[in-house]
Amino acid sequence: MNRPGFQPSVVWLTLSTVPALPRFLRMLVPRFFFARLVPLIGLCLLAGCGGSTMSTFEGHSDLTKEILDIYGVIFWIDLALFLLVQGILIVAVVKFRATGKETTLPEQVHGNLPMEIGWTVAPVVLLVIITVPTVSLIFESQAQAKDDALVVNAVGKQWWFQFGYPEYDFETANEMHVPLGRQVDVRLQSDNVIHAFWAPQIAAKRDMMPGRVNHITFTADKVGEYMGQCAEYCADSHALMKFRIFVDTAEDFDKWAKHQASAQAEPVAASAGFQAFQGATCVACHAIEGTSSQSRIGPDLTHVGSRGLIASGILENNEANLRLWLKDPAAIKPGSKMPNLNLTDEQINTIVPFLSSLK
């Protein structure tokens, strides 16, 4: 009866290990579980705590603080409920457990109207307590901004963020500055797929939809640098689509904005660097105010040298990284919409210092 591939000896061999199995598992489980798995899970959990400006447990604007307040209310309600339910369960288990001496079934109860009404009404009341402040904060976060609010047009691109400041008439990329204590009205848009603007400590999170302007309004209350990240999957380099919000004092902000709004001086347009930039077709996608380069497919490069990071917050802005970026953008950002232009070393050597000089 032996079919090919079917060997009784294999079955025997397998079965013979069964008695040893519990011992084997006892050996394996504690070692793997306590030596590897528990610390690993612990590390993963801890990785979500503190330190980073992506932590949602710290708010530095009116909006994010109010979200935390609601979170607090929900947390304490949930904790009280958890303790109540677990408490009743433990009491029931201890008090009504079988002793082994019973001869009949305990009294069987079917239905209890007051209890059924109770556990239907109580959750409804709790949900109302949670829903009312949540929904009102959602509306508040996109309410009509004050007249003196700073408007920022934030556009989600693949895979970077464009920030326009109509009040000062300029555009920049990936680094959004806002003044301390003044309301900001971020107008969220997209001209491609859906992205989400997420800076947990300052601006919370909202989608950037094609064909629609979403608002998020907040007033930041602590000077600092805060991380942000696209939070809606938008293809290849979604995970590399980061940005930063800088909260500046009113004077620092004004200084920054006026500088960003200034064009580059005339000698820039005549420089060898700009000639090489033009010759390498960079002008087809980038703008440098003060020169003939006026396209806005890629980030505005007028003051690219003043940014701390490039490629939407994933590379420090220095000559070595600019070199890497120009050599092959897609090697750094998969799917990058900036093509590999097969630049010669000579072109790169001329263009890189030129870009760094655009402070």
Q: Name the token pair of 291.
A: 């020169």
Say if CB 181 and CB 221 are below 8 A apart. Answer: yes
C-beta of 67 vs 280, nearer to ligand HEC: 280
Per-residue burial over 170-206, b if 16 or more Cβ lie within 10 Å, else e, is bbbbbbbbbbbeebbbbbbbbeebebbbbbbbbbbbb
Task: Print the binding letters for residues 20-59 with ligand HEC: x by CB under 6 A, - otherwise.
Answer: ----------------------------------------
C-beta of 244 vs 286, nearer to ligand HEC: 286
Q: Which does 281 bind (CB under 5 to 8 A by kind): ligand HEC, Cu ion, none?
A: ligand HEC
Q: What is the DSSP letter of 332?
A: H
Residue 222 φ then ψ, to 5°: -145, 125
Which residues touch 18 (CB under 8 Å, ≥6 apart)?
none
- 231 in contact with ligand HEC (CB under 6 A): no
Q: Which does 311 bind (CB under 5 to 8 A by kind): Cu ion, ligand HEC, none?
A: ligand HEC
Q: Which does 145 bind (CB under 5 to 8 A by kind): ligand HEC, Cu ion, none?
A: none
Say if CB 156 and CB 229 are below 8 A apart. Answer: no
C-beta of 198 vs 243, nearer to ligand HEC: 243
C-beta of 67 vs 304, nearer to ligand HEC: 304
Which residues touch 332 (CB under 8 Å, ≥6 apart)?
311, 314, 315, 324, 325
Residue 28 CB, nearest distance to Cu ion (Å)? Answer: 41
Rounded Cα gap, residues 246 and 243, in angstroms: 10
Residue 162 CB, nearest distance to ligand HEC (Å)? Answer: 10
Task: Print the binding letters for residues 282-311 with ligand HEC: x by CB under 6 A, - otherwise.
Answer: x-xxx----------xxx-x--x--x--xx
Task: Print the binding letters for residues 173-202 with Cu ion: x by CB under 5 A, - otherwise.
Answer: ----------------------x-------
Q: Compute CA distances 19 → 11, 31, 59, 312, 325, whole Å.
A: 14, 20, 57, 58, 60
**Residues β-bridged to residue 155:** 162, 189
Task: Print the binding letters for residues 65-104 with ligand HEC: x by CB under 6 A, - otherwise.
Answer: ----------------------------------------
Say if CB 145 and CB 270 are below 8 A apart. Answer: no
- 204 in contact with ligand HEC (CB under 6 A): no
Rounded Cα gap, residues 299 and 170, in angstroms: 12
Q: Which does 313 bind (CB under 5 to 8 A by kind): Cu ion, ligand HEC, none?
A: none
Residue 175 CB, nearest distance to Cu ion (Å)? Answer: 18
Say if CB 162 and CB 173 are below 8 A apart. Answer: yes
| Residue closest to 201 by CA, chosen among 224, 183, 232 | 224
Among 280, 287, 288, 358, binds ligand HEC (CB under 6 A): 280
- 238 in contact with Cu ion (CB under 5 A): yes
- Contacts with ligand HEC by CB under 6 A lie at 159-160, 173-174, 277, 280-282, 284-286, 297-299, 301, 304, 307, 310-312, 322, 326, 333, 336-339, 341, 343, 351, 355
Which residues make up the interface to Cu ion (CB under 5 A)? 195, 230, 234, 238, 241
